[in-house]
C-alpha cells in the first residue's frame, strides 16, 4: 500500500485544497481504492471540503494531568519544587495545578509527603471516521489547547492504515499539518512519498526549506507543488532551484485561481466543483504525474 503525505512547512499554502482535489482524482481513477486521512488535528479542515457525513466518533484518551486532593494537601509546596513546567501556583495560600501547563509526568507525586496528588487520564480529543463521496476519511478533533497532537496524528494514521489494509486499498492520502515538529514527524513516518505544497513567497520558500530538511531527515522521498505559481514568477524560480539543489523535483505549478476559494465556499474539491478551471486542470495533471514516483503507471490499479 502506498501512502502520500501532503505537507508544506508554512501554513495556508493550500495543502488541504490540494489533498481534496487529489482525493477526487483518486476516486475517479480507482474508485474505492484510496483512503483519506487528515493529520492536521489542530486545524482539521479536510472534512469541510469532502462532503463528509455519517461520522463515527470515539474519545481519544492520552496522557494525564495531576490533581490535588484538597482534604489531604498540607500546602507545603513540595510539589512546586518538583515541577519543571511551572504548573503549580499558589492561589489564596493554597497550591493548585494549572491543567494547561501540567504535562502529567508525575514528578509532584514523588515529592508530596502527604500523598495528596494523583494522575488522572485525560481525554484530549476525538478520533473520527466519516464517509465521503471520495472514500472513507479518518480524522480527529483535538480539544483546544491540548498536547499530544503527535499521538493523535499517529492514532488517526493507524486507524486509516488498518482499514486500508483490511480492504486491500491501493493507498492512503494524508493531509499533513504545518511546521516541522512532532505532528509533522508523526504524519511523515512510514510515508512512501511527501508532496510539499508551497507558494512563491519569501516565507513559503524559507519554510519549505525546513520542511524538506525534515522529510529528508526521515528518508521519505519528496516532490514539490507550487501553488499560486504565477503570483511571483521570480519566487517560483527560486523554489524550483532550491528543490533542484536538493534533488527534489517540482512536479506542479498551480495558477492563482479564485476557483479554489469558490470551491472552499461550496465545500467541494475544486476539481469536482470547477473541473474546467485552470487550477483544476493542473491538479488533474498532478495526480497523473504522482503515479510515477509511486511506481504505478498512470491509471493502473
Chain residues binding another protein by CB under 8 A are: 9-13, 16, 40-45, 48, 63-64, 82, 84-85, 100-101, 103-107, 110, 119, 142-147, 149-150, 177-185, 199-204, 206-207, 210, 213-214, 217-218, 228, 231-232, 234-235, 256, 258, 261, 264-265, 267
- Between 2 and 228, CB nearer to another protein: 228
- Shortest Å distance, C-beta 144 to another protein: 3
- Between 142 and 169, CB nearer to another protein: 142
- Shortest Å distance, C-beta 17 to another protein: 9
- Shortest Å distance, C-beta 232 to another protein: 4
- Shortest Å distance, C-beta 210 to another protein: 7
- Between 164 and 226, CB nearer to another protein: 226
- Shortest Å distance, C-beta 295 to another protein: 27
- Between 152 and 283, CB nearer to another protein: 152
- Shortest Å distance, C-beta 180 to another protein: 5
- Between 59 and 106, CB nearer to another protein: 106
- Between 170 and 208, CB nearer to another protein: 208
Cell numbers representing residue 174 in the block: 494524508
Cell numbers representing residue 65 in the block: 494531568
Amino acid at each position: 500500500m502506498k501512502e502520500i503525505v501532503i505537507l508544506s512547512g508554512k501554513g495556508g499554502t493550500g495543502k488541504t485544497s490540494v489533498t481534496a482535489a487529489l482525493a477526487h482524482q483518486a476516486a475517479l481513477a480507482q474508485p474505492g481504492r484510496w483512503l483519506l486521512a487528515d493529520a492536521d488535528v489542530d486545524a482539521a479542515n479536510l472534512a469541510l471540503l469532502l462532503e463528509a457525513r455519517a461520522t463515527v466518533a470515539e474519545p481519544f484518551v492520552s496522557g494525564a494531568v495531576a490533581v490535588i486532593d484538597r482534604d489531604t494537601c498540607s500546602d507545603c509546596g513540595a510539589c512546586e519544587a518538583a515541577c519543571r513546567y511551572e504548573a503549580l501556583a499558589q492561589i489564596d495560600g493554597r497550591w493548585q495545578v494549572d491543567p494547561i501547563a501540567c504535562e502529567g509526568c508525575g514528578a509532584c507525586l514523588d515529592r508530596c509527603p502527604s500523598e495528596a496528588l494523583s494522575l488522572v487520564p485525560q481525554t484530549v480529543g476525538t478520533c473520527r471516521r466519516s464517509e465521503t463521496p471520495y472514500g472513507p476519511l479518518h480524522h480527529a478533533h483535538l480539544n483546544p489547547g491540548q498536547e499530544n497532537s503527535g499521538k493523535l496524528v499517529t492514532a488517526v494514521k493507524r486507524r486509516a492504515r488498518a482499514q486500508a489494509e483490511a480492504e486491500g486499498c491501493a493507498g492512503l492520502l494524508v493531509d499533513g499539518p504545518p511546521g516541522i515538529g512532532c505532528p509533522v514527524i508523526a504524519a511523515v513516518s512510514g510515508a512512501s512519498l511527501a508532496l510539499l505544497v508551497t507558494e512563491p513567497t519569501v516565507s513559503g520558500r524559507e519554510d519549505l526549506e525546513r520542511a524538506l530538511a525534515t522529510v529528508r531527515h526521515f528518508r521519505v522521498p519528496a516532490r514539490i507543488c507550487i501553488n499560486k505559481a504565477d503570483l511571483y514568477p521570480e519566487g517560483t524560480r527560486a523554489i524550483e532551484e532550491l528543490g533542484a539543489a536538493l534533488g527534489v523535483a517540482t512536479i506542479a505549478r498551480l495558477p492563482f485561481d479564485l476557483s479554489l476559494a469558490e470551491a472552499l465556499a461550496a465545500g467541494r474539491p475544486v476539481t469536482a466543483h470547477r473541473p474546467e478551471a485552470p487550477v483544476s486542470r493542473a491538479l488533474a495533471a498532478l495526480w497523473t504525474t504522482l503515479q510515477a514516483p509511486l511506481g504505478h503507471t498512470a491509471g493502473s490499479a
